[in-house]
Amino acid sequence: MIEQKLKKKNEFVYFALRNKKLQIGLTVVLFFLVLTFIGPLLTQNEPFAYVNPGGAEPPSSEYWFGTTFFGQDVFAQFGRGLRATFLVGLIGGGLATLIGVVIGFTAGYRGGLVDEILNLVTNIVLVIPTLAVLLIVAAYLEVRTIFTECLFIGLTAWPWAARAIRAQTFSLRTREFVDLAKLSGMKDRKIIFKEIAPNMMSYLFMTFILQFGGAILIAATLDFIGLGPTDAISLGLMMQVAVLWGALQLGFWWWFIPPGFAIMAIVGSLYIMNVGLDEVFNPKLREM
């Protein structure tokens, strides 16, 4: 049994390393991640400092991404903004995954009335356009931090994860090995951890990646409207300020193109990675 499990793990690693989509996606994401860490080190400018008296200037050897309307270093902002992006993805997406897993799994495993009620709750939260709710809540809060944003996102994005996990739990629950475990008198909790969880691991991971990407997009939208963190710079905020101060009309393309491009690249790579992971975990999808 253990040899089979090891074999399976090695099999996954073997295919994972060779999957083109994973390779490309992971490379891009890692590139930006590395940039997050070394970016602030590559320039001594603070994101909000007015370093260029000449105002907005296109990219040069001194300011790699140029400067903003106020003479701030766009690259410095970009580097810090990336950090906010990854944080939101990780914590916001992670929280959403966690809640979704707990609710989805309980609903799928227990079934019956518990499932009905949880399903109702999930559907309600699903129907409500989350942005509208977040707008209402965020508009009234004076001070917002990155963590409040993560909290908002986690508390509103979980239904997608819950649905997916519930469906997967349903299909696993009726499989023979669970019945076998139940017949042999295993306690429920043990069944969950020893029999079902390992089979769900791959699915959980893929759900998390989707939530990660989704959280980044939601955060960008919130930041753009002006409901993001009040104490930090983020990619969405950069775009908001740029548009507000006429970067479009004045043609300061270096100010608004990088932030959005980074989001598109990161989230797109995450999605493609997800497809690759699906191929790795589901042998049927592997190309011959």
Partner 1 sequence: MQRYFGRKLLIYALTFFLAVTIDWMIPRLMPGDPITNMLSRTSVNVENAQVMYDYFERVFGLDRPVWQQYLNFWVALFQGDLGVSVYLFPTPVTKVLMRAVPYSLFLLVPSILLSWYAGNKFGAFAARSKWLDNTISPVGYILTATPYMWLAILFAWFFGIVLGIFPIAGAYSFDMRPHLSLAFVGDVFWHWVLPFLSLFLVGFGGWAIGMRNMIIYELEADYSHYLEALGAPTKLIRKYAFRNAILPQITGLALSLGVIVAGALVTEVVFSYPGIGYLLLAAIQNQDYFLIQGCFLFIIIGVLLANFIIDFAYVIVDPRTRTGMQGGAE
User: Which residues in this chain contact partner 1 in the complex, by CB under 8 A?
Assistant: 120, 123-124, 126-133, 135-137, 139-140, 213, 217-218, 220-221, 224-227, 236, 239, 242-243, 248-249, 251, 253, 256-257, 259-261, 263-264, 267-268, 270-272, 275, 284
**Which residue blocks in the chain are alpha helix, DSSP H?**
2-18, 20-42, 74-87, 93-110, 112-127, 130-140, 146-173, 176-183, 188-190, 197-225, 235-244, 247-250, 253-281
Measured from the CB of residue 53, what is the shortest distance to partner 1 in angstroms?
26
Q: What are phi and psi of 12, to 5 degrees?
A: -60, -50
Nearer to partner 1, 21 or 191 (CB): 21
Measured from the CB of residue 69, what is the shortest distance to partner 1 in angstroms?
15
Alpha-carbon distance of 179 to 199, in angstroms, equals 15
Scanning the structure block, which residue is given the tokens 């495993």? Answer: 109
How far apart, in Å, are the Cα atoms of 15 and each of 10, 11, 254, 285? 9, 6, 39, 12
Measured from the CB of residue 104, what is the shortest distance to partner 1 in angstroms?
13
Nearer to partner 1, 146 or 191 (CB): 146
Nearer to partner 1, 64 or 253 (CB): 253
Which DSSP category does 192 fall into?
A: I
Nearest to 87, CA basis, from 231, 271, 242: 231
Nearer to partner 1, 270 or 280 (CB): 270
Whether 267 and 213 have beta carbons less than 8 Å apart is answered as yes
Tokens matching residue 33: 């991640």
Measured from the CB of residue 152, what is the shortest distance to partner 1 in angstroms?
13
Alpha-carbon distance of 162 to 123, in angstroms, equals 10
In the three-class reduction of DSSP (H, G, I as helix; E, B as strand; rest coil), residue 49 is classed as: coil
Nearer to partner 1, 99 or 125 (CB): 125
Nearer to partner 1, 107 or 191 (CB): 107
Measured from the CB of residue 227, what is the shortest distance to partner 1 in angstroms?
7
Measured from the CB of residue 6, what is the shortest distance to partner 1 in angstroms?
30
Nearer to partner 1, 40 or 256 (CB): 256
Measured from the CB of residue 126, what is the shortest distance to partner 1 in angstroms?
6
